[in-house]
């Protein structure tokens, strides 16, 4: 059975197939209207969401399937102290596929260990968000026509922005990708992502410097809910604001993406610009999730491919947001290309133990 926990769980070829399937769905809606008749998607959302949950729900409904689940963990047995492992074992009896969003990093990995049905990570803490990445890739493909040789500016909260982490992991596999990083010092990429960046990346301190070089500008919100100290959030929240005046510095073909919700980082005067693709991006999210659900339900006989070699470790992860800190799961690690031992759930460095 195949899960989608991290974007690299899918090969570049498999991503291409998903994008092509999404485009076929867009062009032939009727053909797919009943392909998931009788199937059930469980949406287990332990953290707030509008777009992602509704988009999964709409996707399953448009495939002919049904949806059950919760959007507020306080109304489920989680509030009685149930573990992710137990919840998932139970839900495996009621549904055919699960989309899970959790505030703990690595929670979907735990779910995948105990589930009898495919797990889709719909966002885990500040870690990963692979279905947003599929949405982003489909948007770039539809807007610009290709995924190679692109200069992609990533702006805002690169530290806690899980959409950015997953987008980097996916885009770095395409020929000629170049990343331009635009963030306050305090909100730079975590080291496990920085270590895998292609060597041609650049860091700049203003949007004005970045804009003329970009094909794609990926704006993100400063992730208030991940800050330990709210004063830091207040200080950093308006570090980068895109407006119509700054857009005059951008190439004609550049597109602006944003996973949404936006807070303040894109002025509404940009919305009318044809290069503002963020509302078109939302719709792509539904189509690519249709492609994903349909595909994973067909791959139930396939064995999951493990991109990292995991081994048992005695080192406990020191990341407070990691699922291993709160749930009794086996401690697993892998060694990255720099020789650093990392937590298999949240990618945090274990060496500091
Ligand atoms: C993103 C998320 O949840 O990480 N939203 C989404 O899924 N569309 C981005 C965000 O919340 O800032």
Q: Are residues 261 and 343 in the same domain?
A: no
Q: Are residues 95 and 187 in the same domain?
A: no
The two three-digit tokens of residue 325, written as one number: 């800190």
Q: Are residues 126 and 139 in the same domain?
A: no
Q: Residue 52 catalytic?
A: yes
Catalytic-labelled residue, pool 101, 221, 258, 289:
101
Query: Mutate which of 47, 129, 165, 286 to test ligand 1's pocket (most atoms within 8 Å of Cβ)?
Result: 129
Q: What is the mean pLDDT of residues 134-155?
A: 98
Element (H, E) at 18: helix 12-27
Q: Give the total number of structural domains in the chain.
A: 3
Residue 352 is predicted with a pLDDT of: 57
CATH label of the domain that carries residue 42: 3.40.50.1370
Whether the pLDDT of residue 301 is over 80: the answer is no
Grade residue 46 by pLDDT with cuts at 50, 70 and 90.
very high
189: which DSSP letter? P
Whether the pLDDT of residue 257 is over 70: the answer is yes
Q: Are residues 142 and 273 in the same domain?
A: yes
Angle between helix axes 278-298 and 51-62 (nearest 10 degrees) is: 50
Find the range with the poorest average confidence among 28-32, 78-82, 111-115, 192-196: 78-82
Q: Are residues 88 and 184 in the same domain?
A: no
Whether the pLDDT of residue 223 is over 80: the answer is yes
From the CA atom positions of the chain, what is the Rg in Å?
Answer: 20
- Please report whether residue 306 resides in a domain: no
Whether the pLDDT of residue 35 is over 50: the answer is yes
Q: Are residues 318 and 345 in the same domain?
A: yes
Q: Are residues 263 and 162 in the same domain?
A: yes
The edge-to-edge listing of strands for the beta sheet with 119-124 is 66-70, 40-45, 97-102, 119-124
The two three-digit tokens of residue 55, written as one number: 């988009």
Q: What is the mean pLDDT of residues 167-184?
A: 98
Residue 76 is predicted with a pLDDT of: 73
- Please report whether residue 257 resides in a domain: yes
Q: Are residues 120 and 144 in the same domain?
A: no
Find out whether 49 and 100 touch, Cβ atoms under 8 Å. Answer: no
The two three-digit tokens of residue 344, written as one number: 């298999």
Question: Mean pLDDT, the chain, as a whole number?
Answer: 95
Catalytic-labelled residue, pool 74, 75, 80, 314:
80
Q: Are residues 59 and 200 in the same domain?
A: no
Q: Are residues 228 and 322 in the same domain?
A: no
Percent share of the chain, pLDDT over 90: 90
> 162 CB under 6 A from ligand 1?
yes
Q: Residue 80 catalytic?
A: yes
The two three-digit tokens of residue 251, written as one number: 């190439």
Whether the pLDDT of residue 74 is over 80: the answer is no
Residue 353 is predicted with a pLDDT of: 44
Q: How far is the CA of 314 from the centre of ligand 1 (A)?
A: 33
Query: Mutate which of 55, 108, 261, 263 to test ligand 1's pocket (most atoms within 8 Å of Cβ)?
Result: 261
Residue 50 is predicted with a pLDDT of: 84
Q: What is the mean pLDDT of residues 103-112?
A: 97
Q: What is the mean pLDDT of residues 77-98?
A: 92
Indicate the pTM of the whole model.
Answer: 0.96
Q: What is the mean pLDDT of residues 258-285?
A: 97
Give the residue with greater pLDDT, 308 vs 113: 113
Q: Residue 101 catalytic?
A: yes
Q: Other CB atoms closer than 10 Å to residue 188's CB: what's the count?
A: 15
Find out whether 153 and 218 touch, Cβ atoms under 8 Å. Answer: yes
Query: Mutate which of 259, 265, 279 to test ligand 1's pocket (most atoms within 8 Å of Cβ)?
Result: 259
Dist. CA 12–CA 17, nearest whole Å: 9
Q: Are residues 111 and 186 in the same domain?
A: no
- Please report whether residue 21 resides in a domain: yes
> 129 CB under 6 A from ligand 1?
yes
Range of the domain at 291: 7-130+283-298
């Amino acid at each position: 059975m195949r899960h989608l926990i991290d974007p690299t769980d899918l090969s570049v070829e498999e991503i291409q197939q998903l994008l092509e399937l999404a485009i076929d769905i867009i062009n032939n809606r009727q053909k797919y209207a009943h392909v998931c008749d009788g199937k059930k998607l469980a949406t287990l959302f332990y953290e707030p969401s509008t777009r992602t949950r509704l988009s999964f729900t709409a996707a399953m409904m448009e495939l002919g399937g049904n949806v059950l689940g919760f959007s507020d963990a306080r109304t489920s047995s989680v509030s009685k102290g149930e573990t992710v492992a137990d919840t998932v074992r139970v839900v495996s009896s009621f549904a055919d596929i699960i989309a899970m969003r959790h505030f703990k990093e690595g929670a979907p990995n735990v779910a995948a260990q105990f589930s009898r049905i495919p797990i889709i990570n719909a966002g885990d803490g500040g870690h990963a968000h692979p279905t947003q990445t599929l949405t982003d890739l489909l948007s770039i493909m539809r807007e610009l026509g290709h995924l190679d040789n692109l200069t992609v500016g990533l702006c805002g909260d690169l530290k806690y922005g899980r959409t950015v982490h997953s987008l980097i992991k996916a885009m770095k596999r395409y020929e000629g990708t170049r990343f331009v990083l635009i963030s306050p010092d305090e909100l730079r990429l975590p080291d496990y992502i920085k270590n895998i960046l292609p060597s041609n990346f650049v860091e700049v301190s203003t949007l004005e410097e970045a804009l003329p070089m970009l094909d794609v500008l990926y704006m993100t919100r400063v992730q208030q809910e991940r800050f330990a100290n709210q004063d830091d959030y207040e200080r950093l929240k308006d570090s980068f604001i895109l407006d119509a005046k700054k857009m005059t510095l951008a190439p004609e073909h550049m597109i602006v993406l944003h996973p949404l919700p936006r807070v303040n980082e894109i002025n509404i005067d940009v919305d009318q610009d044809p290069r503002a693709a963020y509302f078109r991006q939302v719709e792509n999210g539904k189509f690519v999730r249709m492609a994903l659900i349909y595909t994973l339900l067909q791959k139930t006989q396939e064995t999951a491919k493990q991109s990292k070699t995991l081994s048992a470790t005695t080192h406990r992860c020191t990341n407070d947001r990691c699922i291993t800190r709160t749930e009794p799961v086996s401690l697993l690690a892998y060694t990255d290309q720099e020789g650093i031992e990392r937590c298999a759930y949240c990618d945090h460095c274990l060496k500091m133990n």
